Amino acid sequence: MNFSFIQFLTLFGALSLFLFGMKVMSEGIQKLAGDKMRTILSAMTSNRFFGVITGFFITTLVQSSSASTVMVVSFVNAGLLSLVQSVGVIMGANIGTTTTAWLISFLGFKLNIAALSLPIIAVAFPMLYFSKDRLTSLGETLLGFALLFMGLGLLKDSVPDLHANPQMFEALQNLTDYGFGSILIFLGIGTLLTIVLQSSSATMALTLVMCNYGWIGFEHGAAIVLGENIGTTITANLAALVGNVHAKRTALAHTLFNLFGVTWMLIAFKLVITTIDSYMVGMGFASPMNSPEMVPFGLAIFHTAFNITNTLLLIGFIKFIVISVEKIIPSKGKGDERHQLEYFGSGFLHMAEFSVLQAKRETRRYCDLAQRMFNFIPEMVYQTDRKKFAKVLARVSKYEEITDRVEVEITTFLIKVSRKQLSTSASEQLRRMRLICSEVEKIGDICFKMATLLDKKKEEKAYFTPKQREELTNMFELVNDAFDVMMVNMERGEMFARTNIQQAYILEKRINQFRDNVSEEVIDDIEKGSSHVKSSFYFNKMISSCEKVGDSILNINEAAAGVNIE
């Protein structure tokens, strides 16, 4: 076979340029959409039809159902989407992949867009140096579009000529001689290609090029298209392995949906292929069975008809699908239900702008973790049973380890995302989140020191007076009020936080004033001999520690509001 290693590298390079162009175009569109896209995602409801439309919209932009379904699994893992919502989005994602086939069929083969790629790059490249984010993002989008079709053009030119390589044609012909078995073989090829390339769009591009040059016929191209639908489910399932029970259920729902579709399509395969062929001939076009140039259009029709029909068949059974996956993957209790952070870095970084939404959600959950840890401290103050006290102390110790680990995970994720090309707004949000994570970790350390202090107090048999207990209770309530304001500001976003920041300042002032008043009382009580020196020492330390927690809470509030940040 006259096909050298250099020619193979050229073919692989052309495919790589196609994928790189897709990536640049996707990131440019995401940045161009910015907060609007995140608003659309966060506004998702359980309305299944809206979910389908949203899934279609996302996949049309990112041009990869593998990436969009991995993203959906990530949203479910983080609690942004329910299982019912996610199934609708996945259905729409499958329909969204059909736009690739139409785009390539119309522009890639009928129009010589590759010839216009350099002029488009000439327009787009200077835009990358504009100061306005919108123009820069538009330039990236145009640049990605040009590179994508330049890659497609090179891909068409790099495909080996069958006349010069008759052995390759014979090898493919041998695979087409097994009747229905050949359909299954090409289905497997489509599945394998999608798993390797991690993009159904790239597999579709390869398939359309091979069909256009007569490597394979309409039937076998359609079988590869069906294989793509299975390949995308394997990607999502691999991503869900490190997710929680909800993520695993979402990936399984995606698998069941696509397997059902592929199964009924294989049963009706001959009928569907024949119908599409008759329809195209009836519309005045050449038959895709006989004309290789018409196969891309035939496959675009097949791909679209398959995904839309499959969605229409199953959209009324979303709740049944959810019940099925819940029975197949039952919950193993609270430990399994706890949302995990390990999913960071698995597929989500392909969509840097989307990852800001994920990071914001996880950062808020990290803040919630700090408040729960702080509330173990009052429990330790009032606990008289030694065994129960030891149990709470162990929980505080465990939470301290968790806060340290989670801070590393979130910060690592934020650093990775910040290396991507982001809008100025998204970059600033990531910087603030890193500051917030640092403050939350400080709160965890302070709480652990307070717990250790209480343990030492118990060992030394020092006891708080009723008055000290009452004042500690008041201080705990003040700090919890500050936590509540902080959590609302984190949830509602920057604009709300700015209008509500005054409430945070008022509470911080009360905490500081309370600390100052108590410090003076401690000195007076020691001088009067109305309290023991040891208990006063521990009491003063507890009050001071609570004030330090209050300082960190204020810093988090200011980061959330975007004020007083150095």
Separation between Cα atoms, residue 61 and residue 218, nearest integer Å: 27
Q: DSSP of 9-66, one letter per residue? A: HHHHHHHHHHHHHHHHHHHHHHHHHTHHHHHHHHT--S-HHHHHHHHHHHHHHH--HH
pLDDT-wise least confident of 136-140, 199-203, 409-413: 199-203
Neighbours of 168 (CB within 10 A): 16
- What's the length of the chain? 566
172-195 pLDDT per residue, tens: 556 666 777 888 888 988 888 877
When pLDDT is averaged across residues 119-124 and rounded to a whole number, the result is: 88
Q: For residues 372-399, b (16+ Cβ closer than 10 Å) or e, as one string? A: ebbebbbebbebeeeeebeebbebbeeb
Separation between Cα atoms, residue 200 and residue 231, nearest integer Å: 8
**Are the C-beta atoms of residues 28 and 62 closer than 8 Å to each other?**
no
Neighbours of 221 (CB within 10 A): 26
What are the domain boundaries of the chain? 5-335, 351-561
Separation between Cα atoms, residue 321 and residue 85, nearest integer Å: 12
Q: Write out the two tokens for 447.
A: 């709480």
Separation between Cα atoms, residue 459 and residue 475, nearest integer Å: 24
When pLDDT is averaged across residues 392-411 and rounded to a whole number, the result is: 84
When pLDDT is averaged across residues 8-14 and rounded to a whole number, the result is: 80
Position 335 pLDDT exceeds 50: no
Separation between Cα atoms, residue 53 and residue 89, nearest integer Å: 7
Separation between Cα atoms, residue 289 and residue 302, nearest integer Å: 13
Per-residue confidence band for 345, with pLDDT thresholds at 50, 70 and 90:
very low
Q: What per-residue confidence (pLDDT) applies to 476?
A: 93
Position 110 pLDDT exceeds 60: no
**Are the C-beta atoms of residues 253 and 87 closer than 8 Å to each other?**
yes
Q: What per-residue confidence (pLDDT) applies to 225?
A: 87
Position 338 pLDDT exceeds 80: no
Position 246 pLDDT exceeds 80: no
**Are the C-beta atoms of residues 224 and 204 closer than 8 Å to each other?**
no
Model pTM above 0.95? no
248-302 pLDDT per residue, tens: 888 888 889 889 999 999 999 889 999 998 988 888 888 888 887 788 888 888 9
Compare 174 and 38 and report the one with higher pLDDT. Answer: 174
Is the four-CA dihedral 372, 373, 377, 383 of positive or negative sign?
positive
Looking at residue 281, the DSSP 8-state letter turns out to be H
**Residue range 351-561 in CATH 2.60.40.2550:** no
Q: Write out the two tokens for 209.
A: 């090029």
Q: Is 236 left (phi over 0), alpha (psi -120 to 50) or beta?
A: alpha
Cα dist. 323→256, 263, 303, 395, 430 in Å?
Answer: 12, 21, 28, 35, 38
When pLDDT is averaged across residues 162-175 and rounded to a whole number, the result is: 53
**Are the C-beta atoms of residues 514 and 478 closer than 8 Å to each other?**
yes
Position 543 pLDDT exceeds 80: yes
